[in-house]
Structure 1
Amino acid sequence: MKSKLTCLLICFLLFACNNKNSLSFEPLSIATDSCENCTSVRIEIPQANGKTKISKTINAALEGEIIALLNFDEASNAQNLEEAKEAFLEDYKELNGKFPEESMPWEATIEGNITFENESIITIKLESYIYTGGAHGYGTNRFLNFDKLNGTELYQEDLFTDLEEFKTFAETLFRKQENIPAEGSINDTGFMFETELFYLPDNMGYTENGLLLFYESYEIASFADGPIILTIPYVEANTFLKYPRKL
C-alpha cells in the first residue's frame, strides 16, 4: 500500500511539474459596432486561460499595453480594455465637438498572436494601427516576452547573459545588413541614431526564425523608411541568450 501511495505521489508531482508551464488560450475580441464614417476600435488578442501566475501575468501585460496604445488623453483612468475602448471614443467626441470641421473619424486596430513558444518562454506580438488625425496613422509591432516557469514578464536586460556584449555583436550584424562601413559613424548611410552610436531597440522578441529586433518608425530612420528589422538566427543568438532555443 505504501509503495502504491508513493508511486501516486511521484506521478502527481511529475504531472504538476510538467503542467505548471503549460498554457492554453482562447480568442478575446472587443470591437465597436460597425458604422460608416464613425470612430472604430477593434481588438483581437489571445487570452490565457486559468488562474496560474503566468496566465495572470500575460493577460495583465497585454491589457496594460493595449490601454496605453488607446490612451489619447493622459488623464484617462481606464482600468480594463472595455473602459479603454470607451475612453478612446469619448476622446474623439470631445475633440470633434471643438473642431468638427477638422476631425476625421479615428481608428484603432490591435491584433495579438503568439510568435514563439517552447517549454520555458513565450512571446506574443501586438500589431497595432492607431489613427487620431493628421496626414497618416501610426502602426507598430510590440513584442512581449514571458518566462513560463517563473510566471514573469521579461524585459530587455532579462534576455541576455551580457547585454553589452550582445549589443556589440548586434551592431556588427546591423552594419552588414544595412551596408554600413564597419568603421565610422553608424549614421554614415543616413540613419538617425542619437549621439551617432548604435543602440538596441526597446522592442525585441522571439520568433520561429530567430531573435527579432524591431526599430519603430522614426526610431532610427524617417517615417518613409518604415520600421527597421534585424532577425538574428538562433544559431548565432543562442550564445548571448539566457533562454537559448534548442537547435
Structure 2
Amino acid sequence: MLKHKNIGLFSILVLSMGLVACQPQQAEPKAKSEKATKPAPDLSAKLIGDSEKLKIQLPECDGKSCPEISLDRLNSNQSFIDEFIDQQILEQLGAMLSVEPEQKKANLAASEAQVASEAKSLADVQTPQVKMQQQLEPYLQAFVALDKELKNLSSAQKISLMIKPKILNSGEPIATVVLNSSSYLGGAHGASAQQYYNFDLKSKKLVTLDALLLAKQKPRLEQLAHEAFKTWVIDAKLADNVQDYEQAWKFKLSDNYYLSKEGLILQYGEYDIGPYVVGLPRLTIPYAQLETVLKAQYLPAKVETVASEAQPNTASK
C-alpha cells in the first residue's frame, strides 16, 4: 500500500514539473532609458552654412596667361539670404563685365535650354545652384570674350576674377555675410572689395546702418567716425595734417558695416577715403563710445548694462 502511495506522489511531482516547463517564459524587464530624448535645437534663429563652388567651364588654354575665374555662392539654412547673396553676386559681375542686354537675353535663353536638359536628369528639380549656373552664363561668355580681345591685342596679361561669400555672424543680434571679391581685367592694377550684408533672421530683412541708431543720433555717429578717420590718417602716416589730407580725400560716412567683437566696423572701398595704396580702409568705433548711439539690442550685454546704470534715476526726488 505504501509502495503504491509513493508511486502516486512521484507521478504527481513529475506532472507538476512538466506543467511548469510548458509555461511561457516571461521576458526580462526592459531597462529604463537613462535619459529622455532631448528635442532637436531650433536652428531658425541661426545662419548656418558655407560657400559652395560653382561649376566654371572655360575654353582649353595652355600657358601662363590663361584666364582664371572662381565663383562661389552661399548655401545655408536661410534660403532668403542665399537668394539675396546670389543676386548681389550677379550685380557685382554686371559691374565688372560688360554684357549687352541683347547678348544677355540671347545667352540666357541658350543657357536655359542647356540647363533644362541637365535639370531633367536630376528628377526635373532645378536647385538654387543650377539656377545660379544658368544666370552666370552671359557673364562667363563676356569674361571669355574679354580675354580673347586682350589676346588679339598681343597682350600677355592674365585676367582673373574671384567672388566668394562668407558667414561672419550667425545671428544675435544680426547675422552677417561678407562678400569678398577681387579681379584683374586688364589695366594698371586689379581691384578688390568687401561688402557686408546684415540680416534680422526673425523679420527676414536686411538691416541698414540707420536701423541700428537711436533717434537723432546719426550726427553723433558721423562725429565719432570722423575722429576715427583722423586717427587713421595720422597712424597710417598718410599726412602730417588731417586738414591737408582732406583737401584730396574728404571724410564720408560709410554705410558698409558690421558688428565685430571690438565695435562697429565701417568698411570703405578703394579710393573712398584714400589712394589705391591704402587698399580697403576700415574704421573701428568701440562700443563704449556708442552707448547712447546704438539701440540697446545691438550693444554687447556688458556695455548695455553699464549704459543703463549710467542713466540718472528719474524716480528719485
- TM-score category (smaller protein): 0.7 to 0.9
Distance in structure 2 (CA, Å) of the matches to 1:124 and 1:238? 25
The 3 A distance-change label for structure 1 pair 212 and 135 is same
Deviation at 1:144, TM superposition (A): 0.7
Distance in structure 2 (CA, Å) of the matches to 1:208 and 1:40? 35
**Residue matched to 1:67:** 90
Instruction: Find the residue that maps to 1:189 and give its secondary structure.
Output: helix
The RMSD of aligned alpha carbons is: 3.1
- Contact persistence 2:147–2:159 (CA under 8 A): no
Distance in structure 2 (CA, Å) of the matches to 1:63 and 1:26? 13
| Cα deviation code 1:194-240 (max 9, x no counterpart) | xx4x3212321122332211111111211122222112222333432
- 1:119 and 2:172 equivalent? yes
The 3 A distance-change label for structure 1 pair 102 and 240 is farther
Instruction: Find the residue that maps to 2:141 and give its secondary structure.
Output: helix
Distance in structure 1 (CA, Å) of the matches to 2:211 and 2:132? 28
Deviation at 1:44, TM superposition (A): 3.2
- 1:29 and 2:53 equivalent? yes
What letter corresponds to residue 153 of structure 2 in structure 1? E
**Residue matched to 2:69:** 41
The 3 A distance-change label for structure 1 pair 220 and 26 is closer
Query: What is the aligned-residue identity percentage?
Result: 24
| Cα deviation code 1:50-79 (max 9, x no counterpart) | xxxxx2331122112211121112534679
Instruction: Find the residue that maps to 1:178 and give its secondary structure.
Output: helix
Alignment match of 1:177 (pick from 229, 232, 236):
232
Give 1:66-85 correspondences, 5 Å limit.
Answer: 66-71=89-94, 72-73=97-98, 75=101, 76=104, 81-85=132-136
The 3 A distance-change label for structure 1 pair 146 and 190 is same
**Residue matched to 1:159:** 212
The 3 A distance-change label for structure 1 pair 188 and 117 is farther
Compare 141-150 and 204-213 and name the one that shifted more.
204-213
Distance in structure 2 (CA, Å) of the matches to 1:93 and 1:43? 15
- Contact persistence 1:70–1:108 (CA under 8 A): no
The 3 A distance-change label for structure 1 pair 102 and 213 is farther
Distance in structure 2 (CA, Å) of the matches to 1:101 and 1:116? 46
Compare 163-172 and 97-106 and name the one that shifted more.
97-106
Instruction: Find the residue that maps to 1:199 and give its secondary structure.
Output: coil
Instruction: Find the residue that maps to 1:232 and give its secondary structure.
Output: strand
- Contact persistence 1:175–1:186 (CA under 8 A): yes
Distance in structure 2 (CA, Å) of the matches to 1:83 and 1:187? 50
The 3 A distance-change label for structure 1 pair 17 and 89 is closer
**Residue matched to 1:206:** 259
Deviation at 1:244, TM superposition (A): 2.1
Q: TM-score, normalised by structure 2?
A: 0.60
**Residue matched to 1:5:** none
Aligned length: 221
Distance in structure 2 (CA, Å) of the matches to 1:120 and 1:236? 19
- Contact persistence 1:44–1:112 (CA under 8 A): yes
- 1:244 and 2:269 equivalent? no
What letter corresponds to residue 22 of structure 1 in structure 2? K
- 1:189 and 2:217 equivalent? no
Distance in structure 1 (CA, Å) of the matches to 2:230 and 2:86? 36
What letter corresponds to residue 163 of structure 1 in structure 2? K
Distance in structure 2 (CA, Å) of the matches to 1:226 and 1:38? 26
- 1:89 and 2:144 equivalent? no
Distance in structure 2 (CA, Å) of the matches to 1:176 and 1:67? 36
**Residue matched to 1:129:** 182
Q: TM-score, normalised by structure 1?
A: 0.75
- Contact persistence 1:66–1:81 (CA under 8 A): no
